[in-house]
Amino acid sequence: MVVRALRWVGAVDGFLELIDQRRLPGALVKLRCTEIEQVYEAIKTLAVRGAPAIGVAAGYGVVLGMQSCADDKNSGQGLACLAKSCDYLASARPTAVNLFWALERVRKKGDEFVAGRTGADVRSLREAILAEANAICREDIDMCRRIGENGERFIKDGSGILTHCNAGALATAGQGTALSVLFEAQKRGRKFKVYADETRPLLQGARLTAWELQQAGIDVTVICDNMAGWLMKQGRISAVITGADRIAANGDTANKVGTYSLSILAREHDIPFYVAAPSSTFDLGIQGGAEIVIEERPADEVRSFGESKVAPDGVGVYNPAFDVTEAGDIAAIITDRGVIEKPDTAKIAEHLR
């Protein structure tokens, strides 16, 4: 069973429904977002997370933002509301490029729609934005499937696969990126074991990835983040596969903090390290990983978990949400368009041409 992280319900006056990932695996709770502020909060607090899912949610969030603009307003006022909604949602999180990519798409669609019609009203503009948000959602579902089909050949019978954070259906509109590769290998009858890093401080691997894989009937074992190297030393890991939140033009890849460490460990143990991501996650405006803005999250995420304190009050905390893996340590980037082996600037440019 592949879960569905989010969906739009109804027509242009409808709402966004999404799984509250803060509550998993203890409870499967769905949030009904009827206002743009709820979508912003969901993105900011990780109720919805994963670069592709954030992009899809943002597209629908703009539709909600425009619901506050009366139908009898002119198209200029509608575009102003559109721009305000896009700017607002863009401030929710800084690293995942899909957020900005999706917002730019709906903004551009609004400009094109108004430019091509004299006297367009706000309701018809909102319908055009909803159609574009729906297109982003459909495309993500299709991209996820194709990522899995392009990468399943890397999953061999009897292999042990290590993954970090959550790059499954909960992180996308479809069946995921890194986990899509595993789902497609499973469909082809391959038997393999997955080790899911717990992924401190919010435990996305333990809470979300393990839950998804268990739901799908895939053999999964949760390990603490600091156990990965020892499993590699023991020969239990055949490959590492993760998702990505932003990929620079040269192939340097930002993903959940801890991914960089795994890439170094994989290199040391001669284990292939794969990244699975849709083509929308590439940011060709950034030449290398040093230019990627790394989000720093609240200190209390580290000082406590739920209601339990795990560090003294007031102790200093450094809590970057992401780190950057260098392209030279990536065996291949698996995308919806194919596979980029030993990625570099030229190969990526050709792949996306």
Q: Tell me the C-alpha distance between 4 and 254, whole Å.
A: 25
Tokens of 112: 């094109």
Q: Tell me the C-alpha distance between 152 and 308, whole Å.
A: 40
Q: Which amino acid is at 162?
A: L
Distance of alpha carbon 132 from its chain centroid, rounded? 19
Beta strands in 116-272 (DSSP E): 160-163, 193-197, 219-223, 239-242, 246-248, 253-256
245 is catalytic: yes
Among residues 245, 252, 323, 336, which one is catalytic? 245
Tokens of 51: 């670069």
Tokens of 3: 């879960």
Nearest to 109 by CA among 133, 90, 92: 133
CA distances from 318 to 49, 244, 255, 295, 296 (A): 21, 21, 17, 11, 8
Nearest to 261 by CA among 194, 204, 320: 320
Q: Tell me the C-alpha distance between 226 and 318, whole Å.
A: 18
Distance of alpha carbon 15 from its chain centroid, rounded? 21
For the annotated catalytic residues, the residue numbers are 245
